[in-house]
Chains A and B, each alone.
Chain A
Amino acid sequence: NAGVTQTPKFQVLKTGQSMTLQCAQDMNHNSMYWYRQDPGMGLRLIYYSASEGTTDKGEVPNGYNVSRLNKREFSLRLESAAPSQTSVYFCASSEFYRGGYGYTFGSGTRLTVV
Chain B
Amino acid sequence: GESVGLHLPTLSVQEGDNSIINCAYSNSASDYFIWYKQESGKGPQFIIDIRSNMDKRQGQRVTVLLNKTVKHLSLQIAATQPGDSAVYFCAEVTTSGTYKYIFGTGTRLKVLA
Contact = CB atoms under 8 A, between A and B. Distances in A.
Interface of A: 4, 40-43, 45, 90, 92, 97-100, 102-108
B43 A105 contact: yes
A45 B103 CA distance: 10
A99 B49 CA distance: 12
Contact of B42 (A40, A100, A107): A107
B106 A104 contact: no
B101 to A, nearest CB: 8
Given A107-B41, A107-B42, 12 more contacts: A42-B4, A43-B44, A90-B43, A97-B99, A98-B95, A99-B32, A99-B93, A100-B34, A100-B93, A102-B34, A102-B46, A102-B49
A40 B43 contact: no
Interface of B: 4, 31-34, 36, 41-46, 49, 51, 89, 93, 95, 99, 101-106
Contact of A105 (B31, B44, B95): B44
DSSP class of B's interface residues: helix, strand, loop or mixed? strand
Given A42-B4, A42-B104, A100-B93, A107 B49 contact: no
A4 B45 CA distance: 11
A97 B4 CA distance: 20
Contacts of A103: 44, 46
Given A42-B4, A108-B43, A100 B49 contact: yes
A90 B89 contact: no
Given A102-B46, A103-B46, A105-B43, A42 B106 contact: yes
A100 B100 CA distance: 10
Contacts of A102: 34, 36, 46, 49
B51 to A, nearest CB: 7
Nearest to A91: B43
